[in-house]
Amino acid sequence: PKRVRTRHFQNAKQQGIPITGLTSYDMLTAQIFDQAGIDFLLVGDSAGNNVFGYETTLPVTVDELIPLTRAVARAVTRALVVADMPFGSYETGPSEALHTAVRFMKEAQAHAVKLEGGVRSRKQISRIVSAGIPVMGHIGFTPQSEHGLGGHMIQGRGAGAEQLITDALAVQDAGAFAVVLEMVPSGVAAEVTERLEIPTIGVGAGPGVDGQLMVWTDFAGMTGGRVPRFVRQYANLRSVLTDAVHSFKNDVDSGAYPGPEHSYE
């Protein structure tokens, strides 16, 4: 298959073809999602929660994400692989941001990077883009600034709508090829989508955006406990695996496994 490039994102928006993305943190899920035709795979810093067992994304490091990104990049034949720049790897300025982006491109063979923030990150975005590295923006609820935002909250309500539009335009003007809108009201997300030339990718942003992104462990029902309102669970892998593990354990306890067909003469 022909590789997805940033120009595919632009064409998709112009032609009204929805863009699909999932997170992936390893080779096997990357292969499955790529072969199913998902357009881009995000090696999210949500690996903090879903791989490393942290409570938030804040402790995640570049050194932790690089091996996961490399595994995903090696697995795909079509999907565009986006490396998420973790907290503490770009905030101090454009040089630090470019340094981090280069590491993801060089050490992990990512195809693009993503970083959080609108106006506050425009210099970083523009420096990375100038070096020939595509950038996906991320505004609305930005988990890395959870403490600054005062918790897990919908962004862009009331007066926040104007700020969201300002941030979206800043990300576009800085040269990003797409922007993630996380947890924003559908109406505002639709308005941002209309105002922008680059595609908007929604995570809890309703139907009026150019693409949809989900955290794979949420969409496949792998995560234990509650998932956010915006998640539709397309499978219940956690219960499938739980049942499998119970069956294995019971069979070993009862002597039903291994049978002769699993044993060597």
How near is the Cβ of 138 to ligand KIV at its closest, in Å? Answer: 6
DSSP code of residue 199: P
Candidates 128, 215, 220, 222; binder of ligand KIV (CB under 6 A) is 215
Residues 6 or more apart whose CB falls under 8 angstroms from that of 207 comprise: 186
- Contacts with ligand KIV, 132-151, as mask; x by CB under 6 A: ------x-------------
- The answer to the question of whether 46 is labelled as a binding residue is yes
Binning the chain into helix, strand and coil, the percentages to the nearest 5 are: 45, 15, 40
How near is the Cβ of 143 to ligand KIV at its closest, in Å? Answer: 7
The pairing of strands 178-182 and 135-140 is parallel
Please, which of residues 42-61 interact with ligand KIV by CB under 6 A?
42, 44-46
Q: Which of 55, 107, 182, 197 is catalytic?
A: 182
Q: Do 146 and 56 meet the contact criterion of CB atoms below 8 Å apart?
A: yes
Alpha helix ranges (H) inside 6-61: 6-15, 27-35, 47-50
Of the pair 185, 204, the CB lying nearest ligand KIV is at 204
Q: Do 53 and 42 meet the contact criterion of CB atoms below 8 Å apart?
A: no
Cα distance between residue 180 and residue 198, in whole Å = 11
Cα distance between residue 7 and residue 202, in whole Å = 19
Candidates 128, 180, 188, 220; binder of ligand KIV (CB under 6 A) is 180
Q: Do 200 and 213 meet the contact criterion of CB atoms below 8 Å apart?
A: no
Read off the tokens for 178. 């797409």
- The answer to the question of whether 55 is labelled as a binding residue is no
Q: Is 64 a catalytic residue?
A: no
Candidates 34, 39, 167, 182; binder of ligand KIV (CB under 6 A) is 182
How near is the Cβ of 5 to Na ion at its closest, in Å? Answer: 22
Candidates 75, 113, 183, 203; binder of ligand KIV (CB under 6 A) is 203
- The answer to the question of whether 64 is labelled as a binding residue is no
Q: CA-based angle 167:171:177, to the nearest 5?
A: 145
- The answer to the question of whether 123 is labelled as a binding residue is no
Residues forming contacts to Na ion in the complex (CB under 5 A) are 44-45, 84
Q: CA-based angle 167:173:178, to the nearest 5?
A: 75
Candidates 84, 167, 191, 210; binder of ligand KIV (CB under 6 A) is 84
Which part of the chain contacts ligand KIV (CB under 6 A), choosing from 38-46, 93-101, 127-135, 187-195? 38-46
Under rule CB under 6 A, residue 210 binds ligand KIV:
no
Q: What is the largest CA-CA distance in the chain?
A: 74
Instruction: List the binding residues for Mg(2+).
Output: 45, 84, 116
Instruction: List the binding residues.
Output: 45-46, 84, 114, 116
Residues forming contacts to ligand KIV in the complex (CB under 6 A) are: 23, 42, 44-46, 84, 138, 180, 182, 203, 213, 215
The set of catalytic residues is 182
